[in-house]
C-alpha cells in the first residue's frame, strides 16, 4: 500500500506557478558513506566518461565510448558521479554498464524548486582488467518531464580518476570478468535482466585453468516490487476491501535472489531493503538520502567449489532468479511481482602454472528454506450483523543454509575449497485503519564463509517502519493527503569482501554500520509534490562508522559521520578518521499504544 504515493506523484495534475529559478547555492543532498581514499590529490590522470542531461530519457540511455587513458600507469580507479537537478521529479534508478558488465547501480535524490546537487565517489578497482580496453559506456537514467508537473531534468557527469597506488601484498585483480546479463550493449541498451519475465540466463564457456571464481550479483526491486519488504502474502491482498488504497501488494515481504549453475543452487542473497528517495515519505530523504541509495549493494558468491564443472571446456548456464514466500505452493516458494532489475558478473583468476585445473567432485548440502507463518485478522461486527476486518497482523520467519564443498589441486598439494551460507529472517507486521496504518518490523541476517580467509562474514539488517496515511476516501491520487512516517533501520556488515580480498585491495576484515532514525510528516495537494511546504516536518539522525584493512597507503582505515537533520537542513555534522559507537535500531515499537 505504500506504493500509492508513487501513483500519486505520477497522476497529480499541476497548476503551475511562475518558473522560479533562484541563483541560490543548490542544496547538497548526500549519503553517509566512507570515502574510498583519504586523499584524491595523488590522482595521476582523469577523464570525463559520461556527461549528459536526462530529460525524457525512457529507452534513451547515454551511450559513449570509454577510452583507456594513454601514457598513464595506474592501479586504482575511482568514479565521481556528480549531478544537478531543479524542479519537481521522482527518484529515478540509474545503471552504469561497461559493455555488458554492470559497474554501478545508483538512484537519484528528489530535486527542489531552487535546485539540488549531489556527488558520490566509488572505487571500481575490482574491474581493473576491463579498464585497459576501449569499450562502450552505457549510463541509463530513465526520466520523464511532462511539461507542467514534472520539470526536473538530471544533469549528470561521471569522471574517472586514476591513481597509481602500490598494494602491499600484490595487486591481483580478476584477470577476466564475464557478464551474466542480457548482452544487449551492442544495441546501446543496458544489459540488465527484468525479472521475473526474463529467463535471467547467460551461458558461459570459461577458461580451463581457473584458480578462483566469484559471482557478484546486483538486484533491486522496482515498480510494483519497490516496497517488497512491506508486502503481504498474496492470499491476503484483499483483506481491506474498502481501503482507499485498493488491494495490498502481494508475494509476501520475503525475497530471495538465487544464483543457479546448470540449474543447481550455488548461492543466495536475502536483500537489503533499499528505500528510494520518494519511498514511503518523500520528505524523509532530503538532504540525507536512505542507506545505499547512491550505491546499491551487490552480493558476492564464491563459486570456486564448482571448478570441476566450470573448467570442463563446455558451456554452462548461470541463472539469476528472484522468489518470494508463497503459502499455497508445496515448497512455499513462489514468484514475485514486476519487476526486479538483476544482473551479475563472474570474476575469474587463472592458474598460469597449469593448462587445466584439477578439481574434485562437488558436494552440496542444503537445508531449508523453512518458513513459519502466523496471521491474525481482527474483525468488527456492525449492528446489522455485517463483519469487517479492522486489523491484519502476521509474522513470517525463514531460515536456510547451504554448503558447497570441493577440492582443488595447487602447486602445494590439494586443498579444500568451499562456500557456506546461513540466513535467517523475521518480519512482523500489523496493518490497521483499512491498511492506512502499517507497522513493519523485520530483521534479515546472514553469515557466509569461503576459504579465501578464515573469517566468517556476517550481516544484519534490522528495519522498523511505521507509516500512517491520511487520504481522502476517493483515494490518494490528486486529493490532498499526508503521511506520518517513522523509520529506524540499520545496515551492519562485518567481514571479508571477496572481490577486494582476492584482488589484494584489502587484506583483512572490514566493518560498516549505518543507522537512520527519522520521523517525518509530509503533506501533498494538487500543487505541492516536492515536499518543501512549511507544514512538512522531518527530524532525523544518521550514524555511520567504518573500519577496514586497505592494502594501500591512501586507504581509509577508520571513518565515521554523525548527522542530525531538521526539515531540509543539516543541524549537526561530525566527521572523523576514527570510528564511533552506533546505537542499535529499536527492533519494534508499540506506536499505537
Ligand X SMILES: *[C@@H]1O[C@H](CO)[C@@H](O)[C@H](O)[C@H]1NC(C)=O
Q: Which of residues 337-356 bind ligand X (CB under 6 A)?
A: 354-355
Instruction: Please say whether the beta carbons of 216 and 173 come within 8 A.
Output: no
Does residue number 239 form part of the binding site for ligand X (CB under 6 A)?
yes
Q: Which is nearer to ligand X, 365 or 377 (CB)?
A: 377
Considering the complex, state which of residue 216 and residue 432 has its C-beta at the smaller distance from ligand X: 432
- Asked if residue 533 binds ligand X (CB under 6 A), the reply is yes
Of the two residues 99 and 432, which places its CB atom closer to ligand X in the complex?
A: 432
Among 133, 365, 472, 583, binds ligand X (CB under 6 A): 583
Q: Say how many C-beta atoms besides its own lie within 10 A of residue 386's C-beta.
A: 8
* Distance separating alpha carbons of residues 17 and 527, to the nearest angstrom: 9
Report if residue 314 touches ligand X, rule: CB under 6 A. Answer: no
As a whole number of angstroms, the distance between CA 297 and CA 220 comes to 9
Given its phi and psi angles, is residue 59 left (phi above 0), alpha (psi -120 to 50 degrees) or beta? left
Q: C-beta of 543: minimal distance to ligand X in Å?
A: 9
With the CA atoms of 553, 514, 3 and 192 taken in that order, what torsion angle do they form, in degrees rounded to the nearest 10?
30
The binder of ligand X chosen from 187, 241, 367, 574 (CB under 6 A)? 241
Figure out which of the listed residues 113, 157, 405, 579 binds ligand X, where binding follows CB under 6 A: 157
Residue 18 binds ligand X, judged by CB under 6 A: no
Using CB under 6 A, which residues numbered 70 to 89 contact ligand X?
Answer: 80, 82
Rounded least distance, CB 88 to ligand X, Å = 13
> Do 180 and 202 meet the contact criterion of CB atoms below 8 Å apart?
yes
**151 near ligand X, judged by CB under 6 A:** no
What is the CB neighbour count within 10 angstroms for residue 405? Answer: 17
Among 71, 382, 454, 474, binds ligand X (CB under 6 A): 382
Q: How many of the other CB atoms lie within 10 Å of CB of 520?
A: 25
**What is the C-alpha separation between 241 and 237, in angstroms, rounded?**
9
Shortest distance, CB of residue 83 to ligand X, whole angstroms?
8
How is residue 509 written as a grid cell?
576484515
- The mark string for 362-381 relative to ligand X (x by CB under 6 A, - otherwise) is ---------------x----
Say how far apart CA 153 and CA 159 lie, in whole Å.
19
Does the protein bind ligand X through residue 407 (CB under 6 A)? Answer: no
- Cell reading at 311: 573448467
Residue 438, interface with ligand X (CB under 6 A)?
Answer: no
Residue number of the CB closest to ligand X reads 82
Q: How far is the C-alpha of 565 from the C-alpha of 285, rounded, in Å?
A: 10
- Tell me how far, at minimum, the Cβ of 187 lies from ligand X, in Å: 10
313 binds ligand X (CB under 6 A): no
Residues 363 and 216: beta-carbon distance below 8 Å: no
For residues 504 and 173, give the distance between their C-alpha atoms in angstroms, rounded to a whole number. 7
Cis peptide before 296 (omega within 30 of 0): no
Interface residues with ligand X (CB under 6 A)? Answer: 40, 53, 80, 82, 119, 121, 155, 157, 182, 193-194, 198-201, 203, 236, 238-239, 241, 317, 354-355, 377, 382, 384, 386, 388-389, 391, 393, 410-412, 430, 432-433, 437, 468, 484, 488, 517, 519, 525-528, 533, 535, 541, 583, 592
Amino acid at each position: 500500500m505504500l506504493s500509492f504515493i508513487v501513483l500519486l506523484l505520477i497522476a497529480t495534475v499541476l497548476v503551475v506557478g511562475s518558473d522560479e529559478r533562484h541563483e541560490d547555492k543548490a542544496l547538497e543532498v548526500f549519503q553517509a558513506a566512507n570515502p574510498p581514499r583519504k586523499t584524491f590529490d595523488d590522482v595521476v590522470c582523469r577523464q570525463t566518461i559520461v556527461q549528459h542531461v536526462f530529460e525524457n530519457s525512457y529507452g534513451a540511455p547515454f551511450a559513449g565510448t570509454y577510452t583507456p587513458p594513454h601514457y598513464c600507469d595506474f592501479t586504482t580507479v575511482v568514479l565521481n558521479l556528480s549531478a544537478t537537478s531543479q524542479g519537481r521529479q521522482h527518484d529515478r534508478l540509474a545503471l552504469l554498464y561497461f559493455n555488458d558488465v554492470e559497474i554501478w547501480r545508483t538512484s537519484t535524490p528528489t530535486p527542489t524548486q531552487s535546485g539540488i546537487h549531489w556527488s558520490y565517489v566509488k572505487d571500481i578497482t575490482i574491474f581493473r582488467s576491463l579498464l585497459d580496453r576501449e569499450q562502450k559506456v552505457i549510463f541509463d537514467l530513465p526520466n520523464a518531464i511532462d511539461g507542467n508537473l514534472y520539470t526536473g531534468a538530471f544533469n549528470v557527469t561521471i569522471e574517472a580518476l586514476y591513481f597509481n597506488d602500490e598494494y602491499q601484498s600484490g595487486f591481483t585483480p580478476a584477470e577476466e570478468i564475464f557478464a551474466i546479463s542480457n548482452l544487449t550493449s551492442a544495441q546501446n541498451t543496458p544489459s540488465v535482466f527484468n525479472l521475473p519475465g526474463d529467463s535471467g540466463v547467460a551461458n558461459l564457456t570459461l577458461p580451463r585453468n581457473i584458480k578462483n571464481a566469484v559471482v557478484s550479483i546486483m538486484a533491486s526491486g522496482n515498480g510494483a516490487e519497490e516496497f517488497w519488504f512491506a508486502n503481504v502474502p498474496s492470499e491476503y491482498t484483499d483483506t481491506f476491501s474498502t481501503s482507499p488504497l485498493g488491494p495490498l501488494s502481494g508475494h509476501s515481504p520475503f525475497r530471495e535472489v538465487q544464483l543457479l549453475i546448470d540449474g543447481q543452487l550455488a548461492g543466495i542473497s536475502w536483500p537489503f531493503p533499499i528505500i528510494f528517495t520518494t519511498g514511503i515519505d518523500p520528505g524523509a530523504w532530503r538532504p540525507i538520502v536512505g542507506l545505499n541509495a547512491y550505491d546499491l549493494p551487490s552480493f558476492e558468491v564464491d563459486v570456486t567449489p564448482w571448478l570441476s564443472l566450470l573448467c570442463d571446456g563446455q558451456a554452462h548456464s548461470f541463472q539469476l532468479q528472484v522468489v518470494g514466500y508463497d503459502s499455497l505452493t508445496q515448497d512455499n516458494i513462489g514468484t514475485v511481482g514486476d519487476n526486479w532489475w538483476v544482473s551479475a558478473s563472474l570474476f575469474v583468476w587463472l592458474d598460469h602454472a597449469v593448462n587445466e585445473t584439477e578439481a574434485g567432485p562437488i558436494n552440496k548440502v542444503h537445508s531449508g528454506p523453512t518458513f513459519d507463518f502466523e496471521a491474525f485478522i481482527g474483525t468488527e461486527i456492525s449492528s446489522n450483523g455485517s463483519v469487517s476486518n479492522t486489523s491484519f497482523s502476521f509474522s513470517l520467519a525463514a531460515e536456510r543454509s547451504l554448503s558447497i564443498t570441493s577440492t582443488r589441486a595447487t602447486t602445494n598439494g590439494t586443498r579444500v575449497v568451499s562456500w557456506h551460507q546461513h540466513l535467517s529472517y523475521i518480519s512482523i507486521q500489523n496493518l490497521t485503519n483499512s491498511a492506512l496504518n502499517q507497522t513493519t518490523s523485520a530483521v534479515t541476517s546472514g553469515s557466509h564463509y569461503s576459504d579465501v580467509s578464515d573469517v566468517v562474514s556476517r550481516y544484519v539488517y534490522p528495519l522498523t517502519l511505521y507509516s500512517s496515511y491520511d487520504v481522502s476516501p476517493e483515494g490518494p491520487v490528486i486529493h490532498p493527503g499526508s503521511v506520518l512516517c517513522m523509520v529506524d533501520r540499520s545496515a551492519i556488515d562485518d567481514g571479508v569482501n571477496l572481490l577486494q580480498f582476492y584482488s589484494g585491495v584489502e587484506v583483512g576484515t572490514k566493518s560498516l554500520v549505518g543507522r537512520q532514525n527519522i520521523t517525518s510528516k509530509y503533506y501533498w495537494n494538487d500543487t505541492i509534490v516536492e515536499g518543501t511546504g512549511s507544514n512538512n516536518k522531518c527530524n532525523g539522525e544518521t550514524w555511520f562508522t567504518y573500519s577496514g584493512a586497505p592494502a594501500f597507503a591512501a586507504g581509509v582505515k577508520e571513518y565515521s559521520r554523525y548527522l542530525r537533520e531538521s526539515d531540509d537542513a543539516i543541524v549537526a555534522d561530525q566527521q572523523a578518521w576514527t570510528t564511533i559507537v552506533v546505537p542499535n535500531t529499536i527492533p519494534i515499537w508499540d506506536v499505537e499504544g
